[in-house]
Chains A and B, each alone.
Chain A
């Protein structure tokens, strides 16, 4: 029964309550047959981990002391208790032989009280050890998570472009959780198992070396059998996992594309494929279940072998008066409690591997490159006019693939710059460079004549307001979300910003008004309203330079008009970069940057670009081509 350990509060991301529950992974008697994931650098990771743990040195030593004390107390118990049985037996023999008529109850009582106190001490110490250890492991979990969260903020955006969100998420929750759980498990188990094995061995030898040797013979036997079974079942287990993957994959795919499957009458084909997978899964599933299920009975049988051997040999030795009846009783208990720590120790390397693998992933993340350090003497500006200049800017997401080769432009305060291009042309690149989410490879970007690298990132970003197409809001109230633009804004300022963003009226029609908590999927307000809230947020920030991403899709007509008004409001008097989808925006822009495949292919005003008859002209005219079809 694997009820041990404190880290049961697993950080699993499952939202299906039935899929996993409080008991942790798998059933209580299912042995985990999956081979533990192997770390690349076991030693190095372990060293790092030990260093990380060094601040818990004293607590860990205390844990060890209590674990040892608790284990020793529980090991001594049976041997002492055996004396009571022996005394009883002698008393009985005496009665039969007629040499005595009473049994020495005072002695037996004394022994029982002694043993009981030992067991009580063992329980108490065991609990103290568990109490401290769970505190330590929880604290480690907490610290790792906190460090990761802080680390995320120091990493360049570039890392996250190349990494799946789920992967980072899994480090914060699953990996950290596995790490703390296995750490807890392995530390406790190593200590108690080793002490138990040694202690039990000592006690066994103190009773009878012959019986001890006989019962030790059983260990290699069980090892061999277990290894044979594990090797066999692992094969089928892997097969089972593979086919489970196939079945699940097919199910996911078919349910996900249900409409398409139906539209093309693919039912029969789909079921046929499923059956093939399912049947293969069946044959590997029962074999793997059967073989892994064999482990327990075989181990039990081996345990029974030891039991029988001890009974026979003990009986024989008792006749010879080498040992006493109580010794047999104690010995049987020792043999029984010997197998568990041995299996635990055999498993410990697996657990350590798991620990190291999880730790490795966490440390790997912690060691990722961080953003280039800020300028040591940062520049601070009192007021900003909003002149932006690009000077021979050269940039590529990676050095081998330069997307912006040589871009220069000067934007004057209050001007409007439209960035256009087909989907996936890299329209947001300029924005990312401006706000220093990415650093340019060469050239310079100047704001009011100062190189943006001379500002701290924080100060630089303060100059900009940003409204992106996928409106990002967090799980908080509407008020809090708008205030995100400037944390020290008063409620009145927030309302004013909302009014300017044309969202005040809407918010006031909601049941909780500004105190409505946006739910996790932000489904309780529409996409368009979210957009308006982000505009309000930008209003509150009152930036000198604006970055706008015009959204058109999935917004109803009326809201769209509101958004248009709000954006026009916001842009008044500010230098604005607009990722444009709307023709009206493009045409009255002071400068249009035309992008394709990451690069700026053309730049100029609407009329200039049309006259040029290049990519822009083609793009622009394609909107009317439908008319030409007829």
Chain B
């Protein structure tokens, strides 16, 4: 995969923006449960009051608070408030909210930042709790004894009816300090969260006293929080859509570039590279593999990048909610991952077996279909059904095993997730009881836990998908990194203007790349223009290989090939092939029309030249029996014309080019004897001065050739014309005798 990383380079900026946006998205997604927890904690439980710092407070009440503050804290608190009375400039404005202002002056809070809240909150909360406790005692003396004990001083000693708040300041400061210190200790045991929650009660009462609509306050708080959540959702979806856009563009763009490069590379390959990779594999590499990469790039940009961000973010936030509950998530994640690992390690090897069994089933079916006549001729239908049944049973039982292993995944995954929720509630409940956590926080924690678990799930999916993609990536990189063996020379020579077409092989040996042995040994011959040179030999004798060296489809291993006295490696491939009319063994046509196929040889060919070529190649009859004639459609690979027709069209195509050298690579094999002979007669008349090289299996085809080269196991075992070879060359005679009777040979 990394070998292809350069294809992402043009899109670096997009990738970076994507990552940045994913951070934004993750934060937005993670903030949502936080706001939900605020709705529960502050909105419902605390009546919309967030902390112990009231927006406003009666002057009388403030005076009570400051009694319990040190001088330093007193300045801190009063520094955040401004006194408002009838003479203040904003009097009218504040009166609307705080009706009590008509009767008495109030303190109104200045703007305050987060740091200020953090500093001020515990200070005020404590004072508020003391004040509210004393106020409760005064209102209900029956409770006073119990409460006083908890506060650390005995209130019953004070004479009834006396205003404590006017008494307390009179006390010596040492005594007062002693009282506050005792209270401090008590609150420390309650914890910050609980102190805060309790102090909120004071603030709520104060708001009511100020004349505020507290239920409206609460509703507003919830609505405002909801509004924020909505904004966050919008932000998140916005980010995701942009990420989707960027990743689609990046992936499709990288795939386009990759596909183009692979295609260009493959087009530059010689037959050696095609043999090395195989055509089918090259097709897969240029098409499916690239598509795979495209999908994976999208997934990486949208999931692989996102999962760790949301996972880590979720963990940070979850720990922020409760530092000692992370182990529940860890247990869930570990269980889940083990489940996935176990299920996949059981099923993955089976998947490989299944692939084999599917191939087996296909094979048996294919054999059943292709051997239908034989099977019926031998009455073996039952046997075939049994054979199929065995393959079918094997496949079925293995598939069933995997299916049953895989179905366990979903229910167990659900169980783990649900168990996680249960665990959080169980442990969380105790934390809530110990005042280390609020209920809303616990609910948020549950959702963080889910987000973390999903992040791990996404990552584990990646571990299944990525290896497959990296196989595709590796296969593409292999193609891109392969340098074709055959290259144009740096300083190419040119063929002379008066080109004759003489071909000379000088001690040519050839070995396929990576092969142990040469397929051709020491081949030397000269083929002259105006003559026919034929190659014959059994399958595997190397006769086709010899002629494929001439257009440089393969490169000679030793020796050299000269055309008009110039080593073919010294000229450009295009210049060399310009001189050659090549007709392959399998007539290969391209999709288009008959005409477009003929013009493939020469785009500017005249109508007459094409008609001529058609006539010589004996193709007129079938072309002009079609209503469209030369405009008749040819489907991909020429699948809508017969083998013999394809060969004739291939020959016609080469003829359109009128090259000085022709190579017929067993190009008459699909023609019947009659057409074969008519075609060769016409060729002889039309190719006049050209150099003709023919590979064939048929002796009758080449009986008249000026030169016949007999090959056996890559060596020349005979050279001469038909009559000479009949006398001198045993292998040739064997071939000839097997095809023709003695009289016909004479």
Contacts and interface: CB of A to CB of B under 8 A. Distances in A.
A548 to B, nearest CB: 12
A308 interface: yes
Interface in A547-573: 552-558, 560-561, 564
Interface stretch (A33-41, A262-270, A408-416): A262-270
Contact of B378 (A10, A115, A461, A555): A461
Contacts of A629: 677, 680-681, 684, 704
Interface string A120-134: 101110110011011
Given A85-B439, A130-B407, A293-B244, A461 B369 contact: no
Nearest to B232: A304
Contacts of B244: 290, 293-294, 297
Contact of B588 (A108, A126, A259): A259
Contacts of B348: 22
B252 A289 contact: yes
B617 interface: no
B252 A116 contact: no
Task: Say what secondary structure dominates the interface of chain B.
Answer: helix
Q: A-B pairs with the 7 shortest C-beta distances?
A: A9-B399, A130-B407, A6-B403, A297-B240, A556-B538, A286-B252, A126-B411
Contacts of B121: none
Interface string A1-31: 1011111111111011111011100111110
A208 to B, nearest CB: 15
A554 B585 CA distance: 13
B279 A259 contact: no
B426 A112 contact: yes
A275 B260 CA distance: 7
B514 interface: no
B475 interface: yes
B147 to A, nearest CB: 9
Prevailing SS type, chain A contact patch: helix
B508 interface: no
A122 B562 CA distance: 81
Contacts of A190: none
A145 B367 contact: no
Contacts of A81: 421-422, 425
A305 B410 contact: no
A205 interface: no
A278 B262 CA distance: 12
B233 interface: yes
Contacts of A102: 433
A311 to B, nearest CB: 5
Nearest to A540: B378
B402 interface: yes
A256 interface: yes
B361 A172 contact: yes
A320 to B, nearest CB: 9
A172 B347 CA distance: 24
Contacts of B367: 472, 474-475
**Contact-size category for B:** 35 or more
A195 interface: no
A230 B263 CA distance: 32
Contacts of A108: 425-426, 429
22 contacts: A11-B358, A18-B288, A74-B418, A122-B415, A123-B412, A149-B365, A257-B637, A258-B279, A261-B267, A262-B553, A263-B584, A282-B253, A285-B255, A290-B249, A301-B234, A304-B233, A304-B236, A423-B670, A466-B373, A466-B377, A484-B383, A625-B678
Interface in A222-270: 244, 247-249, 251-267, 270
A510 interface: no
A255 B252 contact: no
B677 A115 contact: no
Given A9-B402, A115-B422, A119-B419, A251 B39 contact: no
B697 to A, nearest CB: 6
B385 A150 contact: yes
A135 B407 CA distance: 11
Interface string B258-270: 0110011011111
A220 interface: no
Interface residues of A, number: 183
A444 interface: no
Contacts of A165: 366, 369-370
Contact of A1 (B219, B230, B286, B457): B457
Nearest to A266: B600
Given A127-B412, A253-B591, A325-B40, 12 more contacts: A8-B399, A88-B442, A95-B194, A123-B412, A123-B414, A149-B385, A169-B362, A304-B229, A318-B44, A534-B374, A557-B731, A629-B677
Interface in A127-166: 127, 130-131, 133-135, 137-139, 141-142, 145-146, 149-150, 152-153, 157, 160, 165
B707 interface: no
B152 interface: no
Contacts of B375: 153
Q: Of A23, A293, A558, which is in contact with the most chain B CB atoms at under 10 Å from its CB?
A: A293
Residue with the highest number of chain B CB atoms closer than 10 Å, among A157, A275, A329: A329
A370 B256 CA distance: 50
Interface string B656-684: 01000000000001111111111011001
Nearest to B447: A332
A435 interface: yes
Nearest to B298: A289
A169 B471 CA distance: 28
A154 to B, nearest CB: 8
A525 interface: no
A611 B519 CA distance: 49
A198 interface: no
A395 B377 CA distance: 20
Interface stretch (A210-218, A493-501, A615-623): A615-623
Interface in A412-442: 422-424, 432, 435, 437
A271 B263 contact: yes
A133 B408 CA distance: 12
B398 interface: yes
A341 interface: no
A122 B411 contact: yes
Kindly name the residue among A149, A457, A484 whose own CB sees the greatest number of chain B CB atoms within 10 A.
A149
B493 interface: no
Contacts of A541: 378
A127 B407 contact: yes
A134 B677 contact: no
B291 interface: yes
Chain B CB within 10 Å, residue with most, of A92, A315, A587: A315
B12 interface: no
